[in-house]
Chains A and B, each alone.
Chain A
Amino acid sequence: MSHLRDLQLRFQEYLIDGSEDIEQDIISTEHAIAEHRLGTYYNAYRIRLIDCLAVDYSALEKYIGREAFENMALDYLQHFPSTHPSVRWFGENLPTYLRDIYSGKEAEFLEELARYEWAQTLVFDAADSAQLLQLEDMAAVPADAWPGLTLNFKPALTWLDLFWNVPLIEDALDSGTEVPQKQRDDFPRRWMLWRHDMKIQWRSLEVHEAWAIEQAAGGANFAAICEGLLEWIDEQQVALVAAGFLKQWVGDQLVLNLDND
């Protein structure tokens, strides 16, 4: 191993866990001894990464409070030091960390809140879509083409399944309005997030719409979606309901274009 590499490993070990071997390599002066000089880096490393996490998880920070958040973030930093050139990805493993480190219902809630906030960052930075399908474009689809229709969704769209009413709580924490009571459903509810005009939009989906959008994103055509929806909807109503979903998604500016399989 080169001498320079040795020095860097000693320095980094100090930053990560305070190992003092590096002190022998550093010059002390009257003004500031090596320990104080090194401490500047030790503290800056922690402050910088805690602050980065607090930007991506601002609702979580408000929910648990700054002090608890800092302690949690310091522990996270020990478990998941950054390995990416862009600090933007440092917080990627926080939901996993929360699930693994904490236990019980509170951990489940915190993990869901973190997962939701991380999903927001991904949607915020997802690829742009130059052109989106508009409702007028759908009028041009001939009746006999409908059964084979498939949809391509834009990249700035995702959904997640949550037991807790996390999006309502996140929204209130973010906007400084009154935070609603925490509520847990017996079954997870699907929440959809997307970006429109550089802002994050979100809403919850009923179980049949949740099923339908997942199928559509997976490449199922209109006929197959109608057939699956029979589990919830009468045969006479099913095509109307499915077409209603399609119109809703197009109206929400989620669909890039249509294909026919």
Chain B
Amino acid sequence: MTQPSHKPFLGFGLGLRAEHYQDILERRPKNIDWFEVLSENYMIEGGKPLYFLDAIRQDYPMVMHGVSMSLGTTDDLDFDYLKQLKALIERIEPLWFSDHLCWTGVDHKNMHDLLPLPYTEEAINHVAERISRVQDFLGQQMLIENLSSYITYCEDVMPEWEFLAAIASKADCYLLLDVNNIYVSSYNHHYDPVEYLAGVPVDRVWQHHLAGHTNDGNLIIDTHDQDIIDPVWALYEETAKRFGPVSTMIERDGNIPELDKVLVELDHARRIAEPYYQA
């Protein structure tokens, strides 16, 4: 399970959701290039989700995306979890797997949320060391994703993009750059999202997420239950300019429309990014 040293480009994909299982198997749409699957949904013994996972895997490339590795927690790494992840990796042979630059709980509790870390040297060293151990255990490099966040800590000593880049370099891992999350966090913390992009090393970025969100008036909440808004599309265009061909997919987790409606959004992403890939 080694990975190519050059940046693989899978094209334009979707997050696989149970609502679309049947439709995908029946129609096997050609304008979906690949799927991202949520690892924890398939950490079960058998039944329907695994049936569809295996069946859809036969026709499409897949990558795995987790929410529970808790790379930033100060609890020990959870090797039971990592063993389950390893079993799933062996089952579906994804092109890569990813998780978030966050912590999800401490003291053996799980808040099931992606909680932000302070941007400090202490946190860089802590997280990078854990990513290295995960990569050693699983025998391959992983991708880490930037969050949508609603808070920043008083003790932060650098901007988020510096924190992200430092960890990727120190752990020698790749990045899943979520364009919507950059937009959301830049709005919530009042910085320029294009400056964020400029601070991220081009070679490290292997995947993008796109998604919709909700604005509560003061903060934007990363709900994944709306269509993608124009300012996020504009930022995606900037992203394509800077990073070139990067495997891109849409995350939709709530208020999930028919497959065809999500595919219209996916075609929109294609139309925005592809002109920059020819150059």
Residue positions of A touching B, CB distance < 8 A = 2-5, 7-9, 11-12, 15-16, 24-27, 29, 31-32, 34, 36-38, 40-41, 44-45, 48-49, 52, 81-88, 90, 124-128, 155-156, 195, 198
Contact = CB atoms under 8 A, between A and B. Distances in A.
Contact of B107 (A12, A44, A52, A125): A12
A3 to B, nearest CB: 6
Contacts of B201: none
B111 interface: yes
B254 to A, nearest CB: 10
Interface in B99-117: 103, 105-113, 115, 117
Contacts of A41: 113, 115, 150-151
Contacts of B74: 2, 4-5, 8
B89 interface: no
A4 B139 CA distance: 28
A81 B106 contact: no
A44 to B, nearest CB: 6
12 contacts: A7-B118, A7-B153, A12-B107, A12-B109, A15-B111, A26-B151, A29-B189, A81-B109, A81-B110, A82-B110, A87-B112, A198-B48
B132 interface: no
Interface in B5-63: 40, 43-51
B188 interface: yes
A31 to B, nearest CB: 5
B122 A4 contact: yes
Contacts of B43: 86, 88
Nearest to B44: A125
Contacts of B150: 32, 37-38, 40-41
Given A4-B126, A9-B106, A32-B150, 17 more contacts: A2-B122, A2-B126, A3-B122, A4-B117, A12-B107, A12-B111, A27-B154, A29-B190, A32-B188, A38-B150, A48-B112, A52-B112, A83-B110, A85-B78, A127-B45, A198-B48, A198-B51
B256 interface: no
B123 A4 contact: yes
A40 B73 CA distance: 20
Interface size class of B (residues with CB under 8 A): 35 or more
A192 B231 CA distance: 54
B46 A8 contact: no
B218 interface: yes
B218 A31 contact: yes
Interface of B: 40, 43-51, 68, 70, 73-74, 78, 81, 103, 105-113, 115, 117-118, 120, 122-123, 126, 150-156, 188-190, 218-219, 221
Contacts of B105: 12, 82
Main secondary structure of the interface of B (DSSP, over half): loop
A127 B46 CA distance: 4
B45 A12 contact: no
A124 B118 CA distance: 40
A107 to B, nearest CB: 27
7 closest A-B pairs by beta carbon, nearest first, are A128-B46, A85-B68, A5-B74, A127-B45, A125-B44, A8-B106, A127-B46
Contacts of A87: 40, 110, 112
Given A4-B122, A12-B107, A198 B47 contact: yes
A26 B113 contact: no
Given A4-B122, A25-B155, A26-B154, A126 B47 contact: yes
Nearest to A36: B218
Given A31-B190, A48-B113, A82-B112, A26 B106 contact: no
Contact of A86 (B40, B107, B189): B40
A155 to B, nearest CB: 7
A83 B47 contact: no
Given A8-B103, A32-B219, A124-B47, A26 B153 contact: yes
Given A125-B47, A155-B46, A83 B108 contact: yes
Nearest to A3: B122
Contacts of A26: 151-154
A44 B214 CA distance: 13
A11 B50 CA distance: 36
A138 B106 CA distance: 54
Nearest to B122: A4
Contacts of A155: 45-46
Contacts of A38: 150-151
Contact of A88 (B40, B81, B118, B153): B40
Nearest to B52: A198
